[in-house]
A and B are shown apart, each in its own frame.
Chain A
Amino acid sequence: MNLLEIKNLKTYFYSDAGVNKAVNDISFEIPKGKTVCIVGESGSGKSITSLSIMRLIDPPGKIVDGEVIFEGTDLLKLSDKEMRKVRGRDISMIFQEPMTSLNPSYTVGYQIDEALRLHQKQLNKKQRFEKVVESLELVGIHNPREKYREYPFKLSGGQRQRVMIAIAMACEPKMLIADEPTTALDVTIQAQVLDLMNDLQKKKGTSILFITHDLGVVYQIADEVVVMYKGHIVEKASAKELFADPRHPYTKALLHSIPVPGVTPRKSKLDTVDENVDYLSFPKEIR
């Protein structure tokens, strides 16, 4: 059962220099309660894909064509007002940069409360407070009642990312888009955040679209993997298949550019992704 289906999505950016086809005719599905990873190098269109799902593409960018079908409705056909209701309530998102993703002028609690206030109008102030405290607890913040009143500048990077996740999970969305949420964190915190997301997925049955260029992270959390290259999907497979048997040359190049403990010989040179090869000329491997 698929929660989200993306069909032939095209997002282009228009400038004087010409048209940049950032996302060029991609299709993939996100099953309910599963984690799909999009991997690819910088500029491959990963983030634009996620922003297109949320319909947060600002001019000069434009979603030119395609369908984003969420539980049977095409999000691209909703009015702005209807789309605002989907954001935060049904689909939520966390970002790479925890330092600037929180509003410095408001307390942590207020910001978690925002989505509740906008989407769950039946709750009164006290019920919302309890829910906020609960979600802070859920993401592993100690003393949630005290932290509620604190401003973001007092929190560490890891704590901020936890708060971001709490904000995203406040309304218990059906889908969470995580755009490189661990890239700016050190490895210990990164592992904690990944565990946390895994836990939340198990508890709430949330589908996760995880965007990263870190194949180590993909190996840890992905059910399905989508490999993007220059706006195209070059390979799509389950995580198991992809790591065991990468078929597309670009995927192979990516996998060979990171060391594998016990497999890669010591002091040997790692492969790099060759800039001069046009990987798009190879047939796409969609499994």
Chain B
Amino acid sequence: MERLLEFIKQYKRNRSAVVGFIVVVLLISTAIFAPIVAPYSPDIQNLADRLIPPMWDAKGVSSHVLGTDDFGRDLFSRIIFGSRISLMVGAISVGVSLSFGLVMGIVAAYFGGKTDLFIMRIVDIMLSIPAILLAIVIVSILGPSLFSAMTAIGIVGIPTYARIVRSSVLAEREKEYVIASRINGSSNIRLMFVVILPNCASPIIVQATMGFASAVLEAAGLSFLGLGAQPPTPEWGAMLSDSLQFITTAPWMIFYPGVAIFLTVLSFNLMGDGLMDVLDPKLKDK
């Protein structure tokens, strides 16, 4: 409890991190309450109201705050529902990379020797393949869908987590409390996940927060390329690519989803920076 208060106090010192945190909270709540917040259903087409500009434009109407797209769908509602998809993509792909990366890193560092060599060479191989290329390969095997995009992003992220976990476990493994716990009769599994892991949490939390942002960005990128979410899913990247042909006539169609992506990525990165300042003693009070 005391530690939590101290944590909050230190975190608050970083203003931009607080802003990031507030935006993240807003995002998560919009995603949860999307049906309440959004004025329209994201998929309802109204061809009579095609390409209406945002309400502050001379031709805008107050019923469509950010205007409509080429099918007459309310842009504001689509962006709000899009937050659900982006956050889900972020959470699931970070979950995939984290769970695999964590186990690989911890096993490699704990057992060392040949196990370490074997796992880390796999990681090196994964790192040597360009992320987007690997994603395209996975998508072309599984077929373009949001699910394949998430899997692809998740797999691409594994090496980073594996390396971070490995390096922090290597540092902790030699500490005497690990031997002390071994002397108490702890098994290897217990030593790895109960004794050592909590002491490596800080860099992992920071990386997961940052990784969340890049996962959102990558998912938008894949969807933009047509490899991720398929229409009519209101995914921000897919919305961008849909609006390409209207870029001169209806620029709001491309601008606002872009802003949504930008804000999400920025806020998660700011939050990650703030967490790093507090959690990582090496960077503290620099």
Contacts and interface: CB of A to CB of B under 8 A. Distances in A.
Given A59-B113, A104-B199, A105-B199, A167 B185 contact: no
A115 B195 CA distance: 13
A84 B180 contact: no
Contact of A87 (B3, B113, B184, B195): B184
B177 interface: yes
Query: Which of the four size classes fits the interface of chain A?
Result: 20 to 34
A101 B185 contact: no
B199 A93 contact: no
Contacts of B176: 95, 97, 100-101
Contacts of B201: 105
A128 B176 CA distance: 25
B183 interface: yes
Interface in A22-68: 54, 56, 59
A103 B191 CA distance: 11
A164 B180 contact: yes
Nearest to A119: B185
B187 interface: yes
Interface in B153-206: 175-177, 179-187, 195, 198-199, 201
A92 B183 contact: yes
Given A59-B113, A151-B3, A101 B177 contact: yes
Nearest to A87: B185
Given A87-B182, A105-B199, A100 B187 contact: no
Given A105-B198, A151-B3, A114 B184 contact: yes
Contacts of A108: none
A64 to B, nearest CB: 19
Contacts of A104: 177, 199
Interface residues of B, number: 18
Contacts of A101: 176-177, 180
Contacts of A59: 113
A246 interface: no
B169 to A, nearest CB: 13
Nearest to B177: A103
B180 A102 contact: yes
Interface string A215-246: 00000000000000000000000000000000
A164 B177 CA distance: 10
A236 to B, nearest CB: 26
A118 interface: yes
Given A59-B113, A97-B176, A103 B181 contact: yes
A85 interface: yes
A86 B185 CA distance: 7
Nearest to B175: A100
B183 A87 contact: yes
Interface string A62-100: 000000000000000000000011111100110101001
Given A56-B179, A100-B177, A105-B198, 15 more contacts: A84-B185, A84-B186, A84-B187, A88-B183, A88-B184, A92-B183, A93-B180, A103-B177, A103-B181, A106-B198, A114-B184, A114-B186, A115-B184, A118-B185, A167-B180
Interface of A: 54, 56, 59, 84-89, 92-93, 95, 97, 100-106, 114-115, 118-119, 151, 164, 167-168
Closest 4 CB pairs of A and B: A88-B185, A105-B198, A88-B184, A115-B184
11 contacts: A54-B183, A84-B185, A87-B185, A88-B185, A93-B180, A100-B175, A101-B176, A114-B184, A118-B185, A119-B185, A167-B184
